[in-house]
């Protein structure tokens, strides 16, 4: 009996490794991801700012990749490298580098923006 209690506690603490994430989509994975009205300035750029600019803004263009500014970003959108990198598709470096993949809903939003023509909106 005691043995089960202990292994239960161990299991619980292992599972709780992910407890502190407060990303809505991870807590409620069944919530639909709202990909309508995704704009560059409202959604995509803020995401890049928080997840990518520390390595890819104009000043920190790691790997010679600058994602700051529409024309710069658009180059990587058109080449497929932007989506390939964040979706961890084969043949692309996995971004954000050495960090957790973007949450699924954020990737879906970026994809929706691209599918709508990757407009400067
Ligand atoms: C910790 C620094 C760092 C972060 C954060 C980061 N990158 Fe990168 N990125 C790099 C480096 C370094 C390279 C050069 C290739 C390599 O070393 O893998 C690169 C390469 C790339 C490339 C070219 C990949 C290819 O295979 O051609 C793209 C596109 C890219 N990053 C997009 C992003 C996006 C989008 C984000 C945010 C979601 C991001 N990166 C976050 C460091 C970073």
Atom of ligand 1 nearest to the CA of 82: 29
CA 73 to chain centre: 15
What per-residue confidence (pLDDT) applies to 28?
61
Give 72's contacts (C-beta < 8 A, 6+ positions apart). 58, 66
Q: What's the CA gap between 49 and 54, in Å, rounded?
A: 8
Q: What's the CA gap between 82 and 42, in Å, rounded?
A: 18
What per-residue confidence (pLDDT) applies to 31?
74
Task: Spell out the per-residue pLDDT of the chain, length 121, in tens.
Answer: 666 655 655 555 555 555 555 666 566 656 789 999 999 999 999 999 999 999 999 999 999 999 999 999 999 999 999 999 999 999 999 999 999 999 999 999 999 999 999 999 9
What per-residue confidence (pLDDT) applies to 12?
57
pTM of the complete model: 0.81
Whether 7 lines ligand 1, by a CB cut-off of 6 Å, is no
Whether 82 lines ligand 1, by a CB cut-off of 6 Å, is yes
What per-residue confidence (pLDDT) applies to 70?
98
Peptide bond into 2 cis (omega under 30): no
SS3 19: coil
Distances (CA, A) of 119 to 18, 41, 115, 116: 36, 10, 10, 7
Report yes or no: 40 and 112 within 8 Å, Cβ to Cβ.
Answer: no
Residue 50: half-sphere exposure toward Cβ, Cα within 13 Å: 7
């Amino acid at each position: 009996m005691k043995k089960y209690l202990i292994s239960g506690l161990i299991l619980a603490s292992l599972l709780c490794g992910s407890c502190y994430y407060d990303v809505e989509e991870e807590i409620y994975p069944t919530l639909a991801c709202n990909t309508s009205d995704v704009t560059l300035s409202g959604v995509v750029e803020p995401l890049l700012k928080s997840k990518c600019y520390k390595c890819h803004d104009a000043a920190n263009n790691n790997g010679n990749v600058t994602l700051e500014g529409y024309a710069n970003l658009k180059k990587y959108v058109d080449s497929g490298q932007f989506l390939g990198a964040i979706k961890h598709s084969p043949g692309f470096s996995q971004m954000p580098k050495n960090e957790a993949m973007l949450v699924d809903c954020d990737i879906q939003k970026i994809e929706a923006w691209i599918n709508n023509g990757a407009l400067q909106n």
